[in-house]
Chain A
């Protein structure tokens, strides 16, 4: 299991990298953390003629917290973002989800933007990009464009980055003050990719949900958001034990089961995954209705 030969490029400036991608992008790959790419190369499931290693590019390793977003550069490792207090405060789902990304050693090298570009439906970060209504900034020699989450994820394992483009920044949105968030997933082994995973953001005012968004890992083909506000409408969320209400649970189950579209694989059946999505959503809702933890800060 050794990679097939390629021409290795290690640009030191962004413009140089973009030039290389313009020239070789169609038969090349971008190497950042390499935690998904290098196994594929080692198994010779891919054999790009050129590899553009962006690890030496300056300025891409920054996490920036703004009023409405957390901006993550292309060389920010999962471990860096996980440890970033400002990011965790501004968008708690980042830390909540990043804890579930593989094992610490993989998080030390793997990049957040790389995970997004990998566009794996079983990735945690695509689901977080979706639920936070995030976007990705792409650069090429021709200029720059920003793709919304919906535009970015084209299909399973497929994103809209063109061969000459480099994804330079991921932008995760922030929720209004008072929004509570939670993330959970079920994996075969600790650290494995999820059989199913759920991210939930909830804002309740006067017993009514004014924001209720949920996105999923491994049970939708591309990251997508289910707006639960209509489902929760008419249920008083202010009373203790509101989440235990049978009618609410049934409504939730119907909405989630209709939304997700899981497939079978060797680890779990589609029906089981759908069931998990329902259970996870129900449990997270109960958790958030009963908790004060992980509430987003005032902007």
Chain B
């Protein structure tokens, strides 16, 4: 994981009397476009996109599982591309189209094909990692609308799930592809 390597020598943050502000932090005025809606907000530069989505915009469907970019629970689409929202600052996300799990339903409000497939195939148990899988798979199927089981397994390999053993998520990917095709035919 070449770009994703952190050498951790210690597992507790060091004593550091110099970092904390005794003055209120400067706030940036930013506009985030999420699921087609523009939101104006004021955040410090260090505000992570994941926290801005969850706590400033109340879009709590995006979950935070590790805050170091490995687990994938916080994956959202940035201009259609899956990205870790815990590794992006809200300020950086300005000017991009963000899609979260809340934006994956069909226009009529019913479940989107990937969501529907997860329900049908028992692709989730506790549901915590699920939003990250849903966004990742939604983008993947745009690129590869008819994956084999093996490709489906590969496609979800960057997200951790501790409940399902992935087997039913692999099935869900293939089923979602079917549902998408059925949807196109209608």
**Co-assembled chains A and B:** yes
Residues of A within 8 A of B26 (CB): 7
Residues of A within 8 A of B20 (CB): 4-5
Residues of A within 8 A of B129 (CB): none
**A1 and B55 alpha carbons, distance in the complex (Å):** 15
| Distance of B8 from chain A, by nearest CB (Å) | 7
**A41 and B72 alpha carbons, distance in the complex (Å):** 18
CB pairs A–B below 8 angstroms (15 shown) = A2-B51, A3-B48, A4-B20, A5-B45, A6-B45, A8-B45, A34-B92, A36-B4, A44-B19, A101-B1, A105-B159, A106-B3, A110-B3, A122-B5, A123-B5
Interface contacts beyond A3-B48, A5-B45, A106-B69: sample of 20 additional A-B pairs, CB < 8 Å, sorted by A: A2-B48, A2-B51, A4-B20, A5-B19, A8-B45, A35-B87, A36-B3, A42-B48, A47-B16, A56-B95, A103-B158, A104-B82, A104-B158, A105-B158, A109-B78, A123-B3, A157-B7, A191-B1, A191-B157, A193-B1
Within 8 A of B (CB), among A2-39: 2-8, 10, 31, 33-36, 38-39
In the complex, B86 has a CB within 8 A of chain A? yes
Which residue on chain A has the smallest CB distance to residue B140?
A: A104
**A183 and B6 alpha carbons, distance in the complex (Å):** 23
Q: A39-B69, A43-B13, A109-B83 are in contact. Are A118 and B3 (CB under 8 A)?
A: yes
The residue among B2, B20, B45, B68 with the most chain A CB atoms within 10 A of its own CB is B2
In the complex, A45 has a CB within 8 A of chain B? yes
In the complex, A102 has a CB within 8 A of chain B? yes
Residues of A within 8 A of B159 (CB): 105
In the complex, B58 has a CB within 8 A of chain A? no
